[in-house]
Amino acid sequence: MTAMLASVATMAEAQLALQAKVGILDLKQPANGALGALDRTTVRQIVQLVAGRIPVSATAGDLVMQPEIISTAVQAIAETGVDYIKIGFFPGGDWSGCIAKLAELSGQGLRLIAVLFADATPDFDIVAVIAQAGFSGVMLDTMDKLRGSLLSVLDRKKLAAFVGSAKSQGLLVGLAGSLRQQDIAELLPLQPDYLGFRGALCRQHERTARLDPAALARIRQAIAEHLPKREQHAQENVHHL
């Protein structure tokens, strides 16, 4: 079943997303980059607000790929009580050293999500390495939000290969990257575990603007309308628990 991930930056936005019955709440600060980290005080407050009703993820930030820097940031976020921690695999740096260091943290029970960037042309063979390191999931996003949506960067065939590879490794898999309402019908048949949105949920589709309740409702409804009937019923049952 494909869930809707909504990225939020404030308590007020988190409340709006909860009211819209999103599937996953993702905490980040869009003004600070593709995966800008939200301050930990706000993260803790939102985790307390959600109180386990839905999963909560938070980003580690736009960081250089150096093992100690990444590890320190991840451990700090873990202390806030989020369910998942997202780590951006940005070009350059020491990927293998970072993965080895993060494998130690996943071995301690932290649920990590590796974020690959489609516009950086990643080698998808890294998905198997990430799985072997004990990551919980992998996500495909974009760094340059001005290049258009994920589907403008990678065609559907390559996206299907990515989703298939991740699922075959037992990973949760997400697709994001300036996704628009019109992308939903094309991406849902690939059966990712979640589709991630920020800009499409904001006023004037500007990702650093505030969330728009009407846009939240439109995206949520569009996903529900394009899901197979059995998945629509499953989502309705989840939200009535």
C-alpha torsion sign, points 29, 214, 239, 171: negative
Amino acid code (one letter) for 78: A
Strand partners, 114: 87, 138
Residue 214 CB contacts under 8 Å (≥ 6 apart), including other chains? none
In the residue annotation, 145 being an active-site residue is answered as no
In the residue annotation, 86 being an active-site residue is answered as yes
Which position among 86, 145, 158, 167 bears the catalytic label? 86
41 class by beta-carbon count within 10 Å (0-12 exposed, 13-18 middle, 19+ buried) = exposed
177 neighbors 147 (Cβ within 8 angstroms): no
Place of tokens 């819209």: 20
Burial of 134-168, coded b for 16+ CB within 10 Å and e otherwise, reads bbbbbbbbbbebeeebbbebbeeeebbebbebbbe
CA dist 223 and 36 (Å) reads 26
Which position among 28, 145, 167, 229 bears the catalytic label? 28
Which residues form the catalytic set?
A: 28, 86
